[in-house]
Amino acid sequence: MIYIHIPFCKQKCSYCNFHFSTSLNLKDEMISAMAKEINLRQNELENKTLKSLYFGGGTPSLLKVDDLKFLIDEVLKYHTFDPNIEITLEANPDDLSQSFLKELSNTEFNRLSIGTQSFFEPDLKMMNRAHNSEEAESSIKRAQDFGFENISIDLIYGSPTSNMKIWKENLQKTIDLKVPHISSYALTVEPQTALHQWVLSNKIVKPNESEQNEEFYFMSGFLKENGFEHYEISNFAKPGFHSKHNSAYWNYNEYLGIGPSAHSYNGRTKRSWNIANNSKYIQEIASNKLPLETEILSEKEQFNEMVMIGLRTIWGMNFPKLKQKISEELFQKAEISINQKLADGFLVLENDFLKIPEKHWFLSDGIASDLFLV
């Protein structure tokens, strides 16, 4: 799997702390640098046949289709595509014009991940989204008209500008639009964001966790009633529409990250991440240097990561495989916490897989962290 991070956005959303720039001045230099990084790292993946190619960001749909196609062709110089490859473009509704979609439909892209977030104007204004409520709906319809059936949309719940009534209408609109995949997240107040400053200055009320909990479980039940599988805490899919990209992360598969701030993993113990600075990234690549840092995961880190990721999914984590990650001494220590969670009902063991019962999914981060080895 390859992930390509496009570090540009039209404007900054109030809740976002990802790496990007709102200036496109370095766009051409960045695309050239990414192409060169693909070349420099052509031998990193053991499996040269890709099942997923994902353009994330930032906002990849800010680029011209020719630029996106150019990067796909660069990947194809060194890798082959599985016949059923999933090639995803993250896109904002305001970028999905008729002309853009027409061009895109003539490329290898076969999946769109649309940053809808909400179909209601007050939500979108508070989030400082570049699109309006009309574009939120029309962009999905246009994409479908151009043959894009594999569409995922992002939705945010628990906003101070929303309530249960609005949340139900957001979900119903998604059903009406026949969207087959949904990624949904509670609004979180991240440090160094506009939303954080608004909460500190009492301009906006801090999101209410109990309301978010209620909206999360309503969403889970409602979407399952409408044919979706709740296959990961934040992800829902109709049959045949699971995200191959996300599933690769959850299964600890190797992946290569291209672009500023992108992460890579060799599927075993080695992780690396690129510098989160556009100018320095371009300069380093121009000097034939890889602008990245690397770490080798310890036994404890491998264990903790497997717990954190595995417990987010409907499948859970393979208990025998988890045991193999660490020494017998460390496992005996971990087993104390695991047995306590099993006794308390926060974990269950089914066919050698440890899982969090779905009624406790909203608490998954806390349950997982209680199991971490320190």
pTM for this prediction: 0.92
Token couple for 279: 């100018």
Name the residue ranges covered by the structural domains of the chain.
Answer: 2-249, 298-374
Instruction: Answer whether CATH 1.10.10.920 is correct for domain 298-374.
Output: yes
pLDDT score for 167: 96
Q: What pLDDT does residue 116 have?
A: 96
pLDDT of residue 237: 97
- Alpha-carbon torsion (14, 58, 288, 279), positive or negative: negative
Q: What is the pLDDT along the chain (374 residues), one digit of tens a residue?
A: 999 999 998 888 888 877 778 888 899 999 999 999 999 999 999 999 999 999 998 899 999 999 999 999 999 999 999 999 999 999 999 999 999 999 999 999 999 999 999 999 999 999 889 999 999 999 999 999 999 999 999 999 999 999 999 999 999 999 999 999 999 999 988 888 898 999 889 888 888 889 999 999 999 999 999 999 999 999 999 999 999 998 888 888 899 999 999 999 998 889 999 999 999 999 999 999 999 999 999 989 988 988 998 898 998 988 888 888 788 888 899 899 999 999 999 999 999 999 999 889 888 889 999 999 98
Distances (CA, A) of 203 to 156, 160, 192: 20, 11, 16
Collect all residues with Cβ–Cβ distance below 8 Å to 160 and sequence separation of at least 6.
Answer: 126, 187, 204, 205, 206, 207
CA dihedral 252, 253, 256, 261 (to 10 degrees): -20
Which pLDDT belongs to residue 118?
96
What's the Cα-to-Cα distance from 226 to each of 151, 219, 294, 299, rounded to whole Å?
A: 16, 11, 44, 42
2-249: what fold? pyruvate-formate lyase- activating enzyme (3.80.30)
The alpha carbon of 35 is separated from its chain's Cα centroid by a whole number of angstroms, namely 23
277 φ/ψ angles, rounded to the nearest 5 degrees: -150, 115
pLDDT of residue 22: 82
CA distance 361 to 74: 40
